[in-house]
Structures are given as structure tokens and as C-alpha cells.
Structure 1
Amino acid sequence: MPRILFVSLHGSPHTARWVECVADSGLDLHMFGIDAGPPNSLLRGVTLHVPAPPRPQGPGPLTRVRRFAGLALRDTAEASRRILRRLRQRPLPLPPPGAVRVVEMPAAAPQPADARIPFGDTGADYPATHGPAMLADLVVRLKPDLIHSMEFQHCGYLVLAARDILGADNFPPWLATNWGSDIYLFGREPAHAAMIRRLLAAADLYSCECHRDITLAREMGFTGPDLPVLPNSGGLDLARIAPLRSPMPPSRRKTIMIKGYDHFAGRAMVSLAVLERFADRLRGHEIVMFSAGARPRVRALELREQGVLNIRVIDWATHEDILAEFGRARMYMGISLSDAISTSVLESMAMGAFPIQTNTSCCEEWFEDGVGGFAVPPDNFEVICGRFERALTDDALVDNAALVNRAVVEARLDTRVVQPQVRNFYAQAFGHLAR
């Protein structure tokens, strides 16, 4: 039975949905926990390896209780701060019974709970308690037939650091998967570009969800075989989520979905500026912002308080909640300097909402610009406004796009299609390694 060790963001729904595709396929699946966060509630069929929490040292529990009670009487604020700090450092919560088997690894040298170790000069880092020495030790003990890192700037760099410790001759075959902006954006930054070239030279296999990124990996030195291009999120169960999609045509829906990312790539402030320009024509619409960064959130709430926009910010929601919002939406807009497919584009297509996404993603590998959605430049505000206005007013456009996109997602995104493709993906990977 081939053994795979995933090094991935174990709290991510994308990770969970990808692993779900092979959870019952006869593979021996393991995962290294890259931080102290809990596993995603959907993750199953995998053994999660986490560092054991440090053993208590110093005074016994009764003495510690007495000391804390004294502190609480003297300084209530400091006692509260210590409680909050302890909560932030709490051990990994256990997943639902039977979903994930959690195995504690012997703790490495004691580290401060918030200590982090940088990846060279890139600006990326990892928790010291979940560092490359811990991963290298797990590789030696587990002896996986394949290491699969999903995402570059944390997971891939971490695997590279563990490989440096063990040496290339003592390291298992490695499949590195590119997520999001891993190559398209970070490959242009000198420190990251050097690290990415090292990673691609070390990896035996490479995969991604954009044909665009295969070309970029080749340009950055990857010489291994090609693997199928598949959505990193593992597809959507269209039959299960069908009740979340409104039966009315998108042209009659009065919700507009906005991605609220505001970080190295996200430009949600541009989306808000577009909405503000058309505020008078959005009186009967509700704007829903999800994945909101701090600045867009503040600005969105200001626009609501001022009566400019009827806007609601979702601070936390399940994946089903977000899909249901898409299912009530006429359109979706996501503006960013870089992305891969953009999972939000796929979700909007699946739920009938017309997508407007910046052309710095590879969204045009999924819809034709002007037919299934709009691919807009991130740096041309007037073009974005023009496309938004048309999507807001052209009922035939959005209704026809919903029909076209439905056929696309049924053919390419349904889990009944993607699951066998993912299983064949690993069959091809092991086949390449055998040769």
C-alpha cells in the first residue's frame, strides 16, 4: 500500500476536499501538522501527525492555582491577559471521532509558543514548534513513498528545509503542488524566485491548477514530467449543494458577492470603489462581502452607516453558508493582482452567479471572457466599472452565462468527475517515479 505524507494547510477546506478524493482509495495517507491549529472539520481518512505539547514543569497544579488566584486579586487585567494567552496556546483540538487519527510526535527542544523561524530572506516563516527538524524526524520514522506538499511559501519551503537536513540521497520522492499566487506573483520577487528555483530543482514532480503555471514552472527550471491540471480544491459535490442554489434566474437575484481580500494580492478596496460609484443604482441590492480584510471591512461598515450601500460583512461562515450566498447572487466580483483559478470563481459558476475576476488569475481557462464571465485588468478602474455596469444591467448576459457555466462545472468540477481524476493523478505520479 503506497504511503503518502501530505505537508499542507491542514485547516484548509481545499486540503480536506482534495484528500477526500483519495480517502478510500487504498492509499496510506498521513499529514504533517504545520501549525497548532485544528484540522478542518471535513478532513478524514488521514493520520495527522502533530508535535506533543510540552510537559508541565515547575510548581504543581495546586501551587499554580493558588498563585493565579493571588494574581487575580492583585491585578485582574494581567490575569485576564494570561488566560487569553493560554487559550491561544491551547493544544490541537481533537477532530470528530473516526474522521482523523491524531498521532503525537515526540517534542523537539522546548521553544517559546510564538517563536517562528524564517525561510531565508523571503519574509515567509513557520512556527519553530513545527519546524523542519520535526518534519525530517517524521520522514525518517514514517518512510513515506511520496511526500506531497500543497502550497509553496510555507509547506513547500518547509519540505525543502527538511530535505536540506536529511540530504537529497536520504529523502523520499517529492511532489510539489502550486497553490494560488505561489509562482505567478512570488516568482517575480528576487528572494522568493531563488527559493522557488531551488524547490523546483529539488522536487521530483510538480502540479498546479493552471496551464499558465506549468509554463512558469518550466521557465523557472522544472524539468520533470507533466501531471494532470486539476482544481486544487478537489471539486464540488454539485448534487449535494444543489438545494443551496436559488431556482430563480440570476437576472432576478438582488445580491452581489464581493471578495474582501486586502493583502499582498487582494484589492478589495477597488471593488468597494466600484460599488460606491454605482451606489444610486444599487438601492435595491444587498452587497455581501466575505473573507474581509481589516481595511475593506472598516470601509464597508462606514458605507453602510452612511447609507451609501446596503452592505453586509460576513466575518465567519461555513463553506455551505458561502455557497448559499453565491446561490442567491446575481454576480460576484474579485479584484486581485494574482491568483490561480480563484476558487470563488468556480463557486460562483457552480451557483449561477456571474463572475467578474481579474485576468491576473487563470479564470479564462474556465470561462470565455464576455460569455461566462468577465476577466478584467486589475489596474484599469474604468474598465472594471464598465464590466460591472454591464453585468448589473444586461439580464440576458448573466442568465446565459449561468447556463453555459453550469455545463462547464458539470463536466469539469463535479466531484464525480474530479475524484477519479485525482486517483488517476496519483497513479500517474507513482508511474513516473517507477520509471
Structure 2
Amino acid sequence: MKILMVSIFAPHFFNWTEQLKGSGHEIYWLDVFDSNTEVEKIDFAQQITGWRYKWDFPGRYFLKKNHPGFNRLINKVNERSFQKVLEKRIKEIKPDVIHSFVIYLAAAPVLPVLDKFPDIKWILSTWGSDLFYYSKQEGYLEDIRRVLPKVDYLFTDCKRDHQIAIENGFKGTYLGNFPGGGGYDLQSLESYLKEFDERNIILVKGYQGLHGRAIEVLKAFLPLKEKLREFDIVVFGADEEVFHFVRNSEINTWKNFKVLGKVSHREVMKLMGRARIFIGNSLSDGMPNTLLEAIVMEVFPIQSNPGGATQEIITDGLNGLLINNPEEPKHIRNVLEKVLENEIDIEKAIKFNNENLRPGLDRERIKDEVLKKYKLVEEELETSGS
């Protein structure tokens, strides 16, 4: 089966696509915004990059940075149309299916072109806030309701989003919910895992921005200083809003507190392997990848629950704790105190996750299930073509 992937340059996408290596499918990737970079991880795919500019002239980046108005004027002549490039490539490749990743970046722009090729089937993958948040935004909702009725097959990263898709016009075949980047190589991560008694880190995802609410977690910590003394508190992936809060907060004087900016995925997993508790807090998400990583790395998870996505795998008080009001520090403090005052047996919770959730996140296991879904699409194509 010929599959034309349409996606932005994104690690999730590369991890997902890597699952198709050696599958027998013929894979192509059109980079939506054209990073003009070949990706070694998916070197088995034919990568369509370098298409955006007719002339990649010297000094273009200087012009973009220092003279944006003049740069926009030049680009009206110099930039190729994504839709024209897509149409041309479809005619050349003759794909059996097109697989778009994320609605507003890689599906809505594809729709006008696909209308010209009614025989080509369309797969859509949604991630994170793609449906939950944007279905509540009027401008984006219009695109969502134009795209979903035309989609033949759907992957999501949580069950919640399947229902949102149905409510907004999806009538195709649901292929299931899987982690956006596929699963995790559990064996390769074993060396990062510390014994429970060696772990004393409370690890906090540090994003604020549009959806993140790390600052509310830090505010919740402030009245708990004495109870937190036995832990090292590490915030990772902090953005400027979080750094600004820390610089102007008493928490910056705590000897057991550290805040880190952007760190590599490997460093995150190493931190997870030394952490006892992980806290992720946001207003909007799908199934949070850092939550899954915490489970894989045998960390007790405390996670916000936007739209009920997190509760699909976390039962409050059994194998983790849910934050149901991510903007209220007092609520977050009350949740955290359940752990600090030993109301929750976190060793027992981690054991539950190790036995019931962790094995299902193994990369090979998820890959096998994902490939079965692509095989289902292939078989339906063969049946409809016979």
C-alpha cells in the first residue's frame, strides 16, 4: 500500500512513522512547512522536502529576521503553494491513502486537494488538544467540521476524542487510540530505573503557555515547605513564564528546588527514573505523553484530567491522583497532601501500573497493533477495488 504522510516536522510524527519500517508499505512524507531537512529516523520513507522556495538565495534568513515586510513581499513570488505541490505529488505518487497528522496544520489545508481525488482514502491522526481545545474555538471548529465528514479512518491518542469527532461529523472507521508517538522501548529504559527507596524527586512538567499550568503547581508547593523537605523538587521544560515566577518567588530560595529549561527526551527519562512522584498540570491535552512516560519509568503520577482523558487510565486514588481543577493551587495542594500524609500507598499504585499499564506501552506491542490497523485499511482497499 502506498501511503503519503502529511505532517509538520515533529518527533511524535517520526516516532509514529518509524513503526512502519519493514512493514512492506511504500511510505512518502510531505513536510507541510518544509524544514528542508532529511530525517534519518525515517530514512526508509521518501521525504518530500526542499519544495517551498523557488530560490533559496543567500541572506534569506537575515532578510526574514531584519526586514520581515520586505521578506513577505519577496515570498509572494518566491514561495510555492503547498496545495499545488501536494496535488502534483499525488499525481506522481498515486497513493492509495493519505495520512494527515493534526487537523488544522495538516488536514484542513489538504481537504481542497483531496476533493479532486475522491478515490484516495484519508486517514487522520489527532493529538493532544487537536480536538478537545480547538473544537471549542469558532475559527478552528469550522475546519474541524469540514474535515471530519471526509475522513475515512481515524486514530486518536485517547477515547475521549473519538466521541468529540463523532459529535463533529466523523462517520468513518475508528482505528483506535494509541500514544501519538507509538510506544516505548522498555528494555532500553531499564538502566535508568532506580529502586523505589533510592527515589526522592518530585518531578514537575514546567510548561505554562497556552494550556500548561505549572505555576499553579508551584503556588501549591509554597504552604507545604516543611512537608516537602525530604524531597528534591525538579521542574523541567520550564518556559519564560515559569522562570519569571520562580525568580520572583520564595521557592527560588529553597535548597531542594531546581528549575530546568528545555532538556532532551533522554534526560527527561533519566529524571523520571530517579523520581518518586510526577506532576503534570494543564487545561487541555489528549493522553499526556509525560504521564505515559511516568508510568513507563515507574513513577507515581499526579495529573490533570481535561475532558476526562486522564481518567481513561488513572483511577483516582488507586494508581495515581487526578487534578480536577488545574487553575486552583489550593485544590492541587490538597491532592498533593494525600501523598505527603501517606493517605495513598504509592508503592502499591506503582506496582498496579507495572502489572496493568506498563506492559501495554511496550513499543513492539503497540507497533503490532498499529500495523494491524494499516493492514485493515489495505484489506478494505483491496475489497473495494475488486
* TM above 0.5: yes
AA aligned opposite 2:90: V
Aligned to 2:272: 326
The aligned counterpart of 1:357 is: 303
- Distance in 1 between residues matched to 2:347 and 2:79, nearest whole Å: 51
CA contact (8 A) 1:33 1:130 kept: no
1:14-163 alignment runs, 5 A limit: 14-37=12-35, 38=37, 42-52=41-51, 54-55=54-55, 85=62, 112=72, 131-163=82-114
Q: 1:427 to 1:337 in 2, by over 3 A?
A: same
TM-aligned CA distance change 1:56 to 1:336, over 3 Å = closer
Query: Is the 1:16–1:44 Cα contact (8 Å) retained in structure 2?
Result: no
In the alignment, residue 10 of structure 2 is paired with which amino acid?
Answer: G
The farther-off stretch of 419-428 and 36-45 is 36-45
* Contact in 2 for aligned 1:330/1:354 (Cα 8 Å): yes
User: What is the CA RMSD across the aligned residues, in angstroms?
Assistant: 3.0
Measure the CA separation in 1 of the matches of 2:154 and 2:65. Answer: 35
* TM-aligned CA deviation for residue 186 of structure 1: 0.9
Structure 1: gaps (5+ residues): 58-63, 65-81, 90-110, 117-126
**Counterpart of 2:137?**
189
Whether contact under 8 Å (2:213, 2:283) holds in the other structure is yes
Of 357, 366, 373 in structure 1, the residue corresponding to residue 320 of structure 2 is 373
Aligned partners of 1:406, 1:113: CA distance in 2, in Å? 56
**Residue 2 of structure 2 contacts residue 96 of structure 2 at CA under 8 Å; is this kept in 1?**
yes
For 1:245 and 1:423, locate their aligned partners in 2 and report how far apart those are by CA, in whole Å: 29
Partners in 2 of 1:395 and 1:115 — Cα distance? 61
Q: Which amino acid aligns with 2:50?
A: P
Task: In structure 2, list runs of 5 or more residues that go unmatched.
Answer: none
Q: How does 1:158-177 map to 2 (within 5 A)?
A: 158-163=109-114, 167-169=115-117, 172-177=120-125
Matched AA of 2:285: D
Structure 1 residues 161 and 319, CA, compared in 2 at 3 Å: closer, same or farther?
farther
Amino acid paired to 1:382: K
Q: Spell out, residue by residue over 1:199-233, the C-alpha distance to the aligned partner (whole angstroms, 9 max, x if none).
A: 10121212212111111111111111221222222
Give the drift of 1:196. 0.2
Quick check: 2:217–2:329 contact (8 Å CA) kept in 1?
Answer: no
The TM-score normalised by the length of structure 2 is 0.87
**Matched pairs, number:** 375
Where does 1:181-220 land on structure 2 (aligned, <5 Å)? 181-220=129-168
4+ runs deviating over 6 angstroms: 86-89, 113-116
Contact (CA 8 Å) 2:184, 2:362: kept in 1 or not? Answer: yes
- Alpha-carbon deviation of 1:323? 0.7
Identity %: 25
Task: Name the counterpart of 2:185.
Answer: 237
Query: Secondary structure, in 3 states, of the residue corresponding to 1:263?
Result: coil
Aligned to 1:419, the other structure's residue is in SS state helix
The TM-score normalised by the length of structure 1 is 0.78
Q: Secondary structure at the match of 1:32?
A: strand
Deviation, structure 1 residue 301: 4.3
Structure 1 residues 277 and 113: alpha-carbon distance in aligned structure 2, compared to 1, 3 A threshold: farther
Q: What residue identity is the alignment partner of 2:55? A: R
CA contact (8 A) 1:304 1:310 kept: no
Distance 1:387 1:4, change over 3 A: same
1:267 aligned partner, one-letter code: R
Deviates more, 1:406-415 or 1:307-316: 307-316
User: 1:334 & 1:322 partners in 2: Cα distance?
Assistant: 13
Residue 11 of structure 1 corresponds to 10
